[in-house]
Amino acid sequence: MPLEVIILAAGRGTRMHSDLPKVLHPVGGKPMLSHVLGTALSLEPTRIHVVIGHGGESVRAAMEPLFATAADRFNWVVQTEQNGTGHAVRLAMPDVDTKSRCLILYGDVPLVSQDDLHSLCRAEAALAILTASPSDPSGLGRILRDGVGNITGIVEQRDASPGQLAIGEINTGILLGSATDLARWLNGIDRGNMQGEYYLTDVVSLATADGETVHGETAQDPDRFLGINSRGELAMAERTFQRLAAGALMEAGVTLMDPARIDIRGETRFGRDCVVDVNVVLEGVVEVGDGVNIGPGCVIRDARIGNHCRIHPHSVLENAELGNHCQVGPFARLRPDSRLGDHVRVGNFVEVKNSELAEGSKANHLAYIGDSTLGRNTNFGAGAITCNYDGARKHRTVIGDDVFVGSDSQLVAPVRIADGVTIGAGTTVTRDVDQPALVVSRARQVSYPGWKRPTRKPDR
Ligand code: UD1
Ligand code: CA
Query: 3-class SS at 284?
Result: strand
Q: Which atom of ligand 1 is nearest to the CA of 170?
A: 12
φ, ψ of residue 240 to 5 degrees: the values are: -60, -45
Q: Give whole-number Cα distances, 417 to 83, 374, 413, in Å.
A: 71, 9, 11
CA nearest neighbour of 308 among 291, 294, 322: 291
Which amino acids bring their CB within 6 angstroms of ligand 1? 8-11, 51, 79, 82-85, 87-88, 106-108, 140-141, 154, 156, 170-173, 199-201, 227
Residue 411, CA atoms < 13 Å, CB-side half-sphere = 36
DSSP 40: H
Q: What's the pLDDT score for residue 48?
A: 98
Residue 43, CA atoms < 13 Å, CB-side half-sphere = 30
Q: Which atom of ligand 1 is nearest to the CA of 8?
A: 22
Which residue's CA is the closest to the ligand 1 atom numbered 25? 11
Number of C-beta neighbours around residue 58 at 10 A: 14
Q: What's the pLDDT score for residue 54?
A: 85
How far apart are the C-alpha atoms of 206 and 185, rounded to whole Å?
A: 6
Average pLDDT over the chain, rounded to an integer: 97
Q: Are 112 and 224 in contact (CB under 8 A)?
A: yes
314 is catalytic: no
Which residue's CA is the closest to the ligand 1 atom numbered 20? 84
CA of 175, nearest ligand number: 1
456 burial type by CB count under 10 A (0-12 exposed, 13-18 middle, 19+ buried): exposed
Q: What's the pLDDT score for residue 12?
A: 83
CA nearest neighbour of 108 among 183, 44, 172: 172
The alpha carbon of 413 and the centre of ligand 2 are apart by a number of angstroms equal to: 62
The alpha carbon of 139 and the centre of ligand 2 are apart by a number of angstroms equal to: 9
The alpha carbon of 92 and the centre of ligand 1 are apart by a number of angstroms equal to: 15
CA of 112, nearest ligand number: 1
How far apart are the C-alpha atoms of 312 and 292, rounded to whole Å?
A: 11
Q: Which atom of ligand 1 is nearest to the CA of 229?
A: 35
Residue 305: pLDDT band (50, 70, 90) is very high
295 burial type by CB count under 10 A (0-12 exposed, 13-18 middle, 19+ buried): buried
Residues 68-92 have pLDDT tens digits of 999 999 999 999 999 999 999 999 9
How far apart are the C-alpha atoms of 191 and 21, rounded to whole Å?
A: 26
Residue 459: pLDDT band (50, 70, 90) is confident
CA of 193, nearest ligand number: 1
CB proximity list for 361: less than 8 A, separation 6 or greater: 341, 344, 345, 374, 375, 376, 377, 378, 379, 380
- Give residue 339's Cα distance to chain centre: 23
φ, ψ of residue 368 to 5 degrees: the values are: -125, 120
Which of 52, 85, 105 maximizes ligand 1 atoms within 8 Å of its Cβ, making it the mutation to test the pocket? 85
CA nearest neighbour of 315 among 368, 94, 301, 192: 301
Residues 134-156 have pLDDT tens digits of 999 999 999 999 999 899 999 99
The alpha carbon of 303 and the centre of ligand 2 are apart by a number of angstroms equal to: 42
Mean pLDDT along residues 41-54: 97
The alpha carbon of 85 and the centre of ligand 1 are apart by a number of angstroms equal to: 5
How far apart are the C-alpha atoms of 266 and 269, rounded to whole Å?
A: 10
Q: Look up the pTM and report it.
A: 0.93
Q: Which atom of ligand 1 is nearest to the CA of 106?
A: 30
CA of 78, nearest ligand number: 1
Handedness of CA 120, 125, 128, 134 (dihedral sign): negative
Q: Which amino acid is at 294?
A: I
Residue 460 has pLDDT above 80, yes or no: no
Residue 24: pLDDT band (50, 70, 90) is very high
Q: What's the pLDDT score for residue 344?
A: 99
163 burial type by CB count under 10 A (0-12 exposed, 13-18 middle, 19+ buried): exposed
Query: 3-class SS at 300?
Result: strand
How far apart are the C-alpha atoms of 319 and 335, rounded to whole Å?
A: 7
How far apart are the C-alpha atoms of 80 and 53, rounded to whole Å?
A: 6
Mean pLDDT along residues 265-274: 98
Catalytic residue among 312, 314, 365, 395: 365
Q: Give yes or no for a cis peptide into 330 (omega within 30° of 0).
A: yes
CB proximity list for 379: less than 8 A, separation 6 or greater: 361, 362, 403, 404, 405
